[in-house]
Amino acid sequence: MRAFPEKRRYDDELPLQAFTSKDLDFMAHWHRDVEFLSVLSGGLSVGVNRRERFAGPGSLVICASADIHYYAKGEGGSESLLLIFAPELALSAAGWPNRRRLTSSVLVPEDCEGSPERGRFLSRARSLVKEITEEATERRLSYRTVIKGLVLELCGLVERTMTVPEEESGGVSMVGLGRMQRAIDYIHANAAYPISLADAAKSASLSPTYFSRAFSQTVGTGFSTYLNAVRVEKAQVLLAMSDRPVTDIAFECGFESVRTFNREFRKLRGVTPREARG
């Protein structure tokens, strides 16, 4: 898996990105943007706020503002449409959906058996994601206006079909979600330093024991694995952008030895740092 710190740039007039993605494989991350994933072929595991599920062909993944989510590619790979946009497009400046929570973040075709309403929703929602992606790619006359209308329809259908008032959701509390968000931010900001599980737990105002369990449940992997993935991601960027010695890059990214750096890099990338540099 790859770490995924969010540094997204949008068109000033249309805060949205829509594209086809193959073999998504990203570690847990969060952002204020809204995210939809429509699986075209193959499948992948999806985790959203401590709930993991396999999404095969025809499935739809919905990530509300600030949801912690990750993707783990399946053995046969996958191809999906990925749609990400600022909540302002859904007329929700404070985060979408406002004062409501999703009843389910992953909807697979089997969930619609015996529920015509959900079946119609899944079909139309997937169609809307496809239409938005085509409009964003082709950029025909007035495509921004058309996309805004399609996004409003998509979000309106989700709110009508797939949400309940926040107080009735019974899912992960916003307080608990916020603690994990702070921990993820802390790890990304301090990965170059010798931080410990206790340090990350403190950033989330939790005991190390409770934090270790909650973190693994939320992000789909343990603290050390996540931290090393963040460090490897930064190292890969530095390897590609400079000809600096591998040893210097290893220490700058937070690894205590070149041996550990080589081992973790190969584990996550399948090649050594020198091989990655070409």
At residue 77, φ and ψ (nearest 5 deg) are 80, 180
pLDDT digit string (tens) for 218-257? 888 999 999 999 999 999 999 999 899 999 999 999 999 9
Q: What pLDDT is recorded for position 5?
A: 44
CATH number for the segment(s) 174-277: 1.10.10.60
Q: Is the pLDDT of residue 196 over 90?
A: yes
Q: What pLDDT is recorded for position 11?
A: 74
At residue 95, φ and ψ (nearest 5 deg) are 120, 140
Element (H, E) at 266: helix 258-269
pLDDT digit string (tens) for 38-68? 999 999 999 999 899 999 999 999 999 999 9
User: Which parts of 40-173 fold into alpha helices (H)?
Assistant: 116-138, 143-162
Percentages (nearest 5) of helix, strand, coil residues in the chain: 50, 25, 30
**Backbone torsion region of residue 139, taken as left when φ is above 0, otherwise alpha when ψ lies between -120 and 50, otherwise beta:** left
Give the model's confidence band at 148: pLDDT under 50 very low, under 70 low, under 90 confident, else very high: very high
Per-residue pLDDT, averaged over 133-156, amounts to 97
Structure tokens at 18: 């829509």
Q: Is the domain 16-168 a CATH 2.60.120.280 member?
A: yes
| Measured CA distances, 167 to 92, 182, 193, 252 (Å) | 19, 23, 40, 45
**Contact between 265 and 232 (Cβ < 8 Å):** yes
pLDDT digit string (tens) for 98-119? 888 999 999 999 999 999 999 9
Q: What pLDDT is recorded for position 167?
A: 75
- Residue 7 CA to residue 265 CA, distance in Å, equals 23
Q: What pLDDT is recorded for position 6?
A: 53
At residue 193, φ and ψ (nearest 5 deg) are -105, 165
pLDDT digit string (tens) for 169-178? 666 666 678 8
- Residue 121 CA to residue 5 CA, distance in Å, equals 31
DSSP SS3 for 43 = strand
Structure tokens at 30: 């969060």
* Residue the block writes with tokens 């290893």: 250
DSSP SS3 for 47 = strand
Tell me the torsion sign for CA atoms 7, 8, 13, 15: negative
DSSP SS3 for 60 = strand
Q: What pLDDT is recorded for position 18?
A: 96
Q: What pLDDT is recorded for position 175?
A: 66
Residue-range domain boundaries for the chain = 16-168, 174-277
Q: What pLDDT is recorded for position 22?
A: 95
Mean of pLDDT over the chain: 91
